[in-house]
Amino acid sequence: MQGLWRNTLAVMAGLLISVTALANPAPESVKIAIVAFTQGGKPVFGGIAGRVIEDGWLEQQLSQRGIKLQWIALPHAGAGPQINEGFSNNSIDFAVRGDLPSVIAGAGGVPGKLIVPGGSGNNIYLVVPTQSTAKSIEDLKGQRLALHRGRPWEFAFSNFLASKGLKLDDFKIANLNPQVGAAAVS
């Protein structure tokens, strides 16, 4: 799976470079906006983009062509509108975002194109304190769960619960963003 994503992103970078080479001189930089956590005052990127940043291969490939790669870290709260604004004022070139901001952008006339869908394979984890005896979601029925409500993962989480014969009403849901939820667990 990692090879698939790496190859897909390499093709995406290649297409970007090829298209810009045919249409215009190479850009000075490529700006990619992505949601990040802040830890110790520095952004921490997760998912596929985090892996790309960690490996450094995309930055290296662009650097060989004289193009600077800029990762723009955005907070979870409000990332969708910030990305849409970035596309509409041309301050970003690419972004990693969810379905809802894409729909809102399209409805507002902000052009965009899906290049690499996230789909299955994204890893989202249910975390419990170390002293917890819970081994499955069923063990947490009736307990408090932190869930950032109204976000794309709520739908996926609801589907997961349904696959286990559960529903959101089986839990006491605290509407917390991922950072605050992690702090609450610790």
Quick one: what percent of the chain has pLDDT higher than 70?
79
Query: What does the DSSP 8-state code read for residue 35?
Result: E
Q: Domain limits of the chain? A: 2-107, 137-185
Residue among 67, 82, 75, 57 at smallest CA distance from 27: 67
Specify the CATH number for 137-185; select among 3.40.718.10, 3.40.30.10, 2.40.110.10, 3.40.190.10.
Answer: 3.40.190.10
Write down the pTM of the prediction: 0.59
180: which residues sit within 8 A by CB, 6+ positions away? 146
pLDDT at 63: 93
Over the stretch 154-179, which tens digit does the pLDDT of each residue have? 888 888 899 999 999 999 998 887 76
- The CATH number of the domain covering residues in 2-107: 3.40.190.10
Read off the tokens for 125: 């984890």
Least confident piece of the model among 7-16, 91-100, 164-173: 7-16
Over the stretch 121-133, which tens digit does the pLDDT of each residue have? 555 667 788 888 9
Read off the tokens for 57: 């291969």
Over the stretch 45-76, which tens digit does the pLDDT of each residue have? 877 778 888 889 999 999 999 999 999 998 87
Measured CA to CA, the distance from residue 83 to residue 64 in angstroms comes to 27
Same CATH topology for 2-107 and 137-185: the answer is: yes
Residue among 71, 178, 54 at smallest CA distance from 124: 178
